[in-house]
Amino acid sequence: MNPAAAPILSAVLPTDSVQTIGEVLDCLRRQPGADRIEVILVAGSGNTLPEAWDFSATRVVVVDSLSPIGAARAAGVRAATAPFVFLGETHSYPQEGWLDAALDSATAEGWDVMACGMENANATTLLSWAGFLLDYSRWSSCQPGGSIPEAPLYNAVFRRDLLLELGVQLEGALSAGNLLPLFLANQKSRIFHEPKARLTHRNVDRPLSVIRERYLLGVLIGKGRAAYWPLWRCWLYAGASPLIPFVLMKRLLSGYLSARQAWKFPRATLLVMVALQMIRAWGEMAGYLGFGTNLHEAEMTNMEIRKRDYCRKNSG
């Protein structure tokens, strides 16, 4: 650790233990210039995390609970001191050259938000590919770099001062829903995709867990929107929920076709993706109708923090 090095980037990482986040920390340590990274580990009360080493600074932020995870991430953002904040995950791994590519594009492009170049970390199973392409095909490393209309909520780098402008809405913006995209659009934020800033992402690939994950995702999206939508709009979206899979697949089509040309994955992947979107739509309908609870939030948070537990042991 070099206390004299001022951090240029803060990595905000909610976790329940050093073991859970250990592989991510190792990836960050291997980055040239790792002494410019400030690591912010966010942990629930009762979890004791020793400080990491070889970084500009390390801070452990204790919250009452990691659920909702948006509130945990917001606490990490507020504790960060670097001008750029990376909202990372326990199962998303920075690859060689990630830090330099991110910082170089920040200097050259002057962006507010940078989407990384996503790749599949456990690319041996059909379900892993389906989940990966549903979540990240629009920001994969085979997509061209440049200005884009929207970035993912996680696995992206943000200007910290931009996030702090959200004030008390920061927790909700970093949770499921569309508060953050709306805020970025209203601010006319510059959003950039840098495919050279490569991250590999581990995806749930146990069949029952995949189904449950997609349902919970839908519930939390519906629940998050229902928190600030008028009742009539919630009922409208609930009634239109059978159309959700078609709308979502249309958005993903370009990214899917690019991935199809760049990588080899099972041909049945597209059909599985459509089926999983139907399950998500079912969950969204439940969320819009007010059936989302804190228990759903806690279950999804556990799946996010301990994703390896929901993956096949031989899938990477």
Give residue-wise pLDDT tens across range 143-200: 999 999 999 999 999 999 999 999 999 999 999 888 999 999 999 999 999 999 999 9
What SS3 class is residue 40?
Answer: strand
Of the pLDDT bands very low, low, confident and very high (cuts 50, 70, 90), residue 5 is low
265-273 long-range contacts (CB < 8 A, ≥24 apart) are 265/123, 265/126, 265/129, 265/133, 266/126, 266/129, 268/126, 269/126, 269/129, 269/130, 269/133, 272/126, 272/127, 272/130, 273/130, 273/133, 273/134, 273/249
By the 8 A CB rule, do 280 and 217 touch?
yes
Share of the chain above pLDDT 70, in %: 96
pLDDT at 1: 44
Per-residue pLDDT averaged across 271-298, rounded?
97
Question: Facing residues of 198 across strands?
Answer: 117
CB atoms within 10 A of CB 100: 14
* pLDDT above 90 for 82: yes
Q: What is the mean pLDDT of residues 252-268?
A: 96
> What does the pLDDT average to over 53-75?
91
* Host H or E run for residue 44: strand 37-44
State the pLDDT confidence band at 258, using cuts at 50, 70 and 90: very high
Question: Helix, strand, coil % (nearest 5) of the chain?
Answer: 50, 15, 35
Question: How far apart (Å, rounded) are the C-alpha atoms in residues 70 and 76?
Answer: 10
Residue 277 and residue 286: Cα distance in Å, rounded? 14
9-201: CATH topology: Spore Coat Polysaccharide Biosynthesis Protein SpsA; Chain A (3.90.550)
Q: Is the pLDDT of residue 306 over 90?
A: yes
More confident residue, 279 or 228: 279
Strand (E) or helix (H) holding 166: none
Does residue 2 register a pLDDT over 60? no
**Percentage of residues in the chain having pLDDT higher than 90:** 86
Interior CA angle at 108 toward 59 and 191, to 5°? 70
Distance CA 32, CA 250 (A): 39
pLDDT of 316: 66
Between 146 and 3, the more confident residue is 146
**55-61: average pLDDT:** 89
Indicate whether 270 pLDDT > 60: yes
Residue 76 has pLDDT above 90, yes or no: yes
Across the range 303-309, mean pLDDT stands at 96
Average pLDDT over residues 189-217: 97
Q: Is the pLDDT of residue 94 over 60?
A: yes
Q: What is the pTM for the complete model shown?
A: 0.94
Give residue limits of the domains in the chain. Answer: 9-201, 207-310
The three-class DSSP label of residue 177 is coil
